[in-house]
Structure 1
Amino acid sequence: MIKLVSELIQQRDAQTPGSLYYWTQILFSYNSNHLEGTQLTQDQTQELFETGRLTTTTSIKFDDALETANHFRAFDQILNTIDDPLSKQYIFDLHQILKGGTSQDWDPRYNVGGFKREAKMLTGQQLSTSAAEAPDQTIHLFCEWNRHQYTDLADFAAFHKRFEVIHPFSDGSGRIGRLLLFKELCRCGQMPFFISSDRHTDYLDALAAYTADPGQLRHLFATEQQAYTQAVLQLNALETTSK
């Protein structure tokens, strides 16, 4: 999807209002953060993207607003580095962007920009890979992944599931994993997508059931990929009409 990436970067640099880049930034950040419990609405996410500030009478957590804005920067980072191989340093840099300046950034227990220091309980009562094993397993996963050019969504589902089981960070592994998914789909010439927070239960169920039913996660990915494809086509048609 080099053409798509080029289009997104061009729209970003031109600051094109209402473009695919504009809506991808807003919806990707809103949905990925909302999957993790962030309370900002889509309208607030849009306002933050457009103006860099929030005007609201309701109480908002500082970290929620900052991580939403940081996700905009993290998405720009993956656009700028689409062809870069995955590595420990790559995800450390991405994690530092996502969590930079938050309360966790100042708390050594979270080790922002570095591997977790204790295992995490995942959905379905599954314990993630131990902190001691996470570095080697992450590096091994990336070494295996970087060797090939993938075309089947089943491969991306397997990669995403493995990354989330390793859960390399104390917090933010889900968002980093979904950013990597978007990046690697583009790198491998496939249509990217993001997961709607409306599919929160479906997403968690598919991850939890992956060992017994890997097709469930692949099907979810295919559905979300189709939705993003439709959005691309609609926005391109509107752009063509307006010219």
Structure 2
Amino acid sequence: MNTADFIRNLLERFKIEHTKRDRSGVYGFSQRLLAYNSNKIEGSTLTEEQTASLFDTGILPKTDDYYRAKDVEEMNGHFLMFNKMLDTLDAALDQQIIKSFHFELKSGVFEDRANGYAIGDYKKRPNMIGILQTSLPSQVPEAMTELLNWYHTQDVSLKTLAEFHARYEIIHPFQDGNGRTGRIILFRECLRHDISPFIIEDANRPEYLEALKAYRQNGTVTALTTLFQKEQEFYFNQCEYFFAE
């Protein structure tokens, strides 16, 4: 199956299975895989099995341990963000769409609301990535405008998406949830531009962080593009099962 056929089949199944609330096919598989890995990269304590149970039934398995409320709320938010991503595929990426992803991810997170975080809007307080300073709140609207203007002049490729993602992470437009919104954008834009989509696995988190660091230090996206290619192959191979006869 070539890339064009893969994406066409994927989009068709996503639409049908999402509409019919069929969680047994490639839509449910992709929802669970992306939500688990993207949240895990950010420190979620939920396992793959717990993520699957939450998505499939809305119930978490009994455990002798406890569940962290924020992890559950953000996992449910990620499921909603994926659906919003599918609902907006006909439109070119813009700031309102990006903000809508953040709203879906974070609107049900009590801790963020209690902390006064902007939900579905750009950050109001400066924040950092480790020891790295990101764009100040006053700089974010202009920085995002510049990033999107640049992006829409490109012949979008995997390399383009790698640079977009690295620049997006440096801006860090939201108080929290930047990585997860950034990664859903990658998945969406692959689908829109006939690029084989991918999901960054938590197992590759060290490689992913080093690749983002490489861009900050020398402006190269070689390592990030290489990782994306590896993840493309993984996701494609996993999805082939759903299209076999």
Q: Which amino acid aligns with 2:82?
A: F
**How much does 1:177 deviate?**
0.2
Consecutive unaligned residues in structure 1, runs of 5 or more: none
Q: Which residue of 1 aligns with 2:49?
A: 43
Q: Following the alignment from structure 1 to structure 2, what is the Cα–Cα distance between the partners of residues 145 and 107?
A: 35
What is the CA–CA distance in structure 2 between the aligned matches of 1:215 and 1:147, rounded to whole Å? Answer: 21
Q: How far did 1:209 drift?
A: 1.0
For structure 2, list consecutive stretches of 5 or more residues without a partner in the other structure: 1-6
Question: Which of 27, 37, 40 is 1:31 aligned to?
Answer: 37
Distance of aligned partners of 1:146 and 1:3 in 2 relative to their CA distance in 1, 3 Å threshold = farther
State how 1:160-239 maps to structure 2 within 5 Å. 160-210=165-215, 211-212=217-218, 213-237=220-244
Query: Does the 8 Å CA contact 1:160/1:181 hold for their aligned counterparts?
Result: yes
Q: Secondary structure at the match of 1:46?
A: helix
1:65 corresponds in structure 2 to: 72
Instruction: State yes or no: 1:95 paired with 2:92.
Output: no
SS at match of 1:209: helix
How far, CA to CA, are the matches of 1:2 and 1:104 in structure 2?
Answer: 39
Shifted more, 87-96 versus 219-228: the winner is: 87-96
**Aligned-residue identity in percent:** 33
1:131-170 alignment, distance < 5 Å: 131-150=137-156, 152-170=157-175
One-letter amino acid of the structure 1 residue matched with residue 22 of structure 2: T
- The answer to whether 1:116 aligns with 2:123 is yes
CA–CA distance in 1 between the matches of 2:153 and 2:12?
Answer: 24
Q: CA deviation at 1:55?
A: 2.8
Cα root mean square deviation, aligned: 1.6
Q: Tell me: CA distance 1:110–1:219, structure 2 relative to 1, closer, same or farther (3 Å).
A: same
Q: Any idea what the Cα deviations from partners look like across 1:48-84, whole Å, max 9, x if unmatched?
A: 0111121322211111101101111110111111121
2:4 corresponding residue in structure 1: none
Deviation at 1:24, TM superposition (A): 0.5
The 4+ residue runs of structure 1 with deviation greater than 4 A are none
Q: Tell me how far 1:118 sits from its aligned partner.
A: 2.6
Asked if the contact 1:30–1:41 (Cα under 8 Å) also holds between the matched residues in 2, the reply is yes
- SS of the equivalent of 2:174 reads coil
TM-score, normalising length from structure 2? 0.90
Structure-1 residue corresponding to 2:135: 129
Pairwise CA distance, 1:17: 4.5
